[in-house]
Amino acid sequence: MPERLDPAEPAQLITHPTDPPPPSRRTALGIMGGFAVLAGLGTVFGGDLLNPPSSTEDGDYEGETLEFLIPIAEGGGTDTWARFVGTELVKIVPGHPGFAPINEAGGEGITGTNHFALSARPDGTEVLVSTATTVVPYLLKKHAVKYDYTQMQPIVANGTGAVVYARAAAGVKGLRDLVGRSTPLRFGGITATGLDLTTLLAFDLLEMDVEAIFGFEGRGPVNLALQRGEIDIDYATTSAYPAAVGGLVKDKSAVALFSLGQVDEAGNVVRDPNFEDLPTVVEAYTQLHGGAPDPQKLAAYRTVLGVTYTYQKALWVPGATPTAAVELLRTSAEKLGADAGFVKAAKKVLGGYPLDAAGDLRARMQKAYTVDDALRERIVTFLKSTYNVAID
């Protein structure tokens, strides 16, 4: 630092030999001009100098890691599915990236999904896992939901199915015993704002008289309650059906009534390929009442069936992810789904339903996940009036 001499002397500065000489006016202006050029380049190129394009856009994920955000606790069906698919997918993606599953449970899956929607990098390395648990709150517009699936891009989807069955001792031998009863059938549920919603809308469409008891910790406990006579009617997903229901149907202590069905590309409810001998809900209505069901009830059922079963589990990337990266992941998933070895190994995990990564997947899922406000309000009103379940 420059030092002053004795205060009594005239004011003057001493400069140490190590201090650099002050820059000339020309030099100072040159430095300032250089910074101005850099700032201008940053503006022109949108910050690309500081944020270079992701290497995932070059068709090769070498050196990258695919992070799967799984908004559900470890060990469940969705977690098992995500880890299995992710482990196999990175073997197909060019460059063979690493795989990092990250569980962020909480708030029925809403917490982790919100986090992904708000902070995930749109470069094709961060992937969201969705399931019915997180889709139904979105469909119902619960206040805690901050994500919008229509603003994301799907990579692959995988469906499942379910069968509704009843206890024979409750006086149910077939479809005819579902209506005109002297006492309602008792249904055991986990929550009306989860996967159970599809079955509740099926009961409504069929004009069944049903009482619901919610709060069970899983379908396993409900199945046991049915066997004890505490519950009369239940449903089982495709993967659980053989062990949970097959034996009961075989010994005639329970009867399989109908499948929830699947939604085809034309938007129709069709028979489940895993339960081709069972009628769909729509076919069951015709057998019970003749004709076609109420159009509004059918629309509500078909919409919820699509997002909870036909597209039950899916992988998503942020909407701003470059097209090249999205297509690389999608086509890799498409190749994986067509691999005979994978199909055989994945039979149990995928429940007998194919991985769907076709070129038109995004268009179909955009349509399925876009819910009309009037239809949504109808579902909300139905839950409140029939089961006293209010949507926050």
Q: Is 154 exposed, middle or buried (0-12, 13-18, 19+ CB in 10 A)?
A: buried
| Token pair belonging to 47 | 């910050």
Distance CA 262, CA 252 (A): 27
Specify whether 181 is located in the same domain as 269.
yes
Asked if 166 contacts 254 with a C-beta cutoff of 8 angstroms, the reply is yes
Distance CA 294, CA 203 (A): 13
Check residue 51 and give its pLDDT: 44
Asked if 348 contacts 174 with a C-beta cutoff of 8 angstroms, the reply is no
Q: What is the mean pLDDT of the chain?
A: 88
Specify whether 281 is located in the same domain as 315.
no
Catalogue the E-assigned strands of 251-312: 254-259, 262-263, 269-270
232 pLDDT band (50/70/90 cuts)? very high
CATH number at residue 221: 3.40.190.10
Helix (H, G, I), strand (E, B) or coil at 239: coil
Instruction: Tell me: pLDDT of 30 over 70.
Output: no
Check residue 107 and give its pLDDT: 87
77 pLDDT band (50/70/90 cuts)? confident
Tens digits of residue pLDDT in 321-367: 999 999 999 999 999 999 999 999 998 888 889 999 999 999 999 99
Specify whether 151 is located in the same domain as 244.
no
Q: Half-sphere exposure of 299 toward its Cβ, with a 13 Å CA cutoff?
A: 13
Structural domain includes residue 168: yes
Q: Which of 26-30, 289-293, 349-353 is predicted most confidently?
A: 289-293
Of 283, 308, 333, at which residue does a domain stop? 308
Specify whether 71 is located in the same domain as 146.
yes
- Residue matched to tokens 């990579």: 155
Q: How many domains does the chain have?
A: 2
CATH number at residue 108: 3.40.190.150
Check residue 75 and give its pLDDT: 87
Distance CA 175, CA 138 (A): 33
Check residue 58 and give its pLDDT: 72
Structural domain includes residue 39: no
Structural domain includes residue 141: yes
Structural domain includes residue 28: no
Phi, psi of 362 (to 5 degrees): -60, -45
Specify whether 146 is located in the same domain as 171.
no
Structural domain includes residue 237: yes
Specify whether 297 is located in the same domain as 326.
no
Of 274, 291, 308, at which residue does a domain stop? 308
Structural domain includes residue 191: yes
Check residue 54 and give its pLDDT: 55
Question: How many percent of the chain have pLDDT more than 70?
Answer: 86
Specify whether 289 is located in the same domain as 208.
yes
Structural domain includes residue 194: yes
Check residue 157 and give its pLDDT: 97
Rounded to two decimals, what is the model's pTM? 0.83
Specify whether 109 is located in the same domain as 235.
no
Specify whether 142 is located in the same domain as 69.
yes
Specify whether 167 is located in the same domain as 261.
yes
Tens digits of residue pLDDT in 260-284: 999 998 899 999 999 999 999 999 9
Average pLDDT over residues 306-315: 96
Tens digits of residue pLDDT in 43-66: 444 444 444 455 677 778 999 999
Check residue 55 and give its pLDDT: 62
| Token pair belonging to 36 | 């101005």
Contacts of 62 (CB under 8 A, 6+ apart): 55, 94, 95, 96, 97
Structural domain includes residue 297: yes
Specify whether 166 is located in the same domain as 143.
no
Helix (H, G, I), strand (E, B) or coil at 326: helix
Tens digits of residue pLDDT in 158-211: 999 999 999 999 999 999 999 999 999 999 999 999 999 999 999 999 999 999
Q: Find the helix packing angle between 196-205 and 295-305, rounded to 10°.
A: 160
Of 32 and 66, more confident:
66
Of 293, 308, 323, at which residue does a domain stop? 308
Which residues form the domain of 358? Answer: 61-159+311-374
Asked if 127 contacts 69 with a C-beta cutoff of 8 angstroms, the reply is yes
Specify whether 152 is located in the same domain as 271.
no
- Residue matched to tokens 């997002």: 307
Q: Find the helix packing angle between 196-205 and 281-289, rounded to 10°.
A: 20
- Residue matched to tokens 């190129």: 45
Where b means 16+ CB within 10 Å and e means fewer, 348-362 reads eebbbbebbbbeebe
